[in-house]
Amino acid sequence: MTRIIADITMSLDGFVTGPDPGPRSGLGTGGRALHAWAFSDDPDDRRVLREATARSGAVVLGRRLFDLVDGPNGWDDETGYGATEVGRPAFVVVTSSAPRAVRLTDLDWTFVTTGLPDAVAAARERAEAASADSGRDLDVVLMGGRATVGSALDAGLVDALTLHLAPVVLGAGTPLFTGRAPRTLVQRTVAVTSTATHLTYDVL
């Protein structure tokens, strides 16, 4: 069965970027430390990353994040979706208008201009098709940013939440949960590594 999984890294004080994120520094000041686990040599970090990438039948992201990963300093042959795993699922971008051009033309991009629920529905169709082709269940992964993940949680579109809790205190930045609608979570898995605590919850 295809599930909708929100997957995001957060600091100990609840931020998903440092202060002042922008086109040249998408994670803001000090924010690169959040994703140290994704480039770690720790075998448990590698397993978490590999399994998450492998289960991704389709990925939803917002336009700001798309502009970063498709920009000149974004993904390449060595670092892409899943960091060094460089996964190639279908990508669905929530945006008010499609870009005039795409740099990463070897990836499967769909641009949805009618809102997040339609983008999630489109991604589910792609993930279900990929599941049928591969003979195993694949999921839709919401990789961010904060607005995309938060809006999906608020709208009740998320089946599971995976948080990668980095041992970093940023002090300021982009908070994940401030002003969010209340949700009941059921903890399912915890994996503690040298660089992060990986938590998975069912969202009720």
* Contact in structure between 89 and 130 (CB atoms under 8 Å): yes
DSSP-derived 3-state class of residue 5: strand
CATH classification of the domain holding 26: 3.40.430.10
Helix (H) or strand (E) holding 16: strand 15-17
Its domain, for residue 16, covers 4-203
* pLDDT for residue 179: 80
* pLDDT for residue 139: 98
Whole-number Å distance between alpha carbons of 92 and 122: 7
- Spell out where 63-184 has E strands: 90-94, 109-112, 139-144, 160-166, 174-175
Which of 178, 187, 192, 107 shows the shortest CA–CA distance to 149? 178
> What's at 142, amino acid-wise?
L
**Tokens 């990929």, located at residue:** 130
Q: Which residues of the chain, if any, have pLDDT below 50?
A: none
C-alpha angle with apex 133: 130 to 134, nearest 5 degrees?
A: 85
pLDDT digits (tens, 9 = 90+) for 16-55: 999 999 887 889 999 999 999 999 999 999 999 999 999 9
C-alpha angle with apex 129: 124 to 131, nearest 5 degrees?
A: 95
What is the model's pTM? Answer: 0.95
Which of 86, 89, 85 shows the shortest CA–CA distance to 131? 89
Please tell me the total number of residues recorded for the chain in this structure.
204
Total domain count, the chain: 1
* pLDDT for residue 158: 97
> What's at 116, amino acid-wise?
L
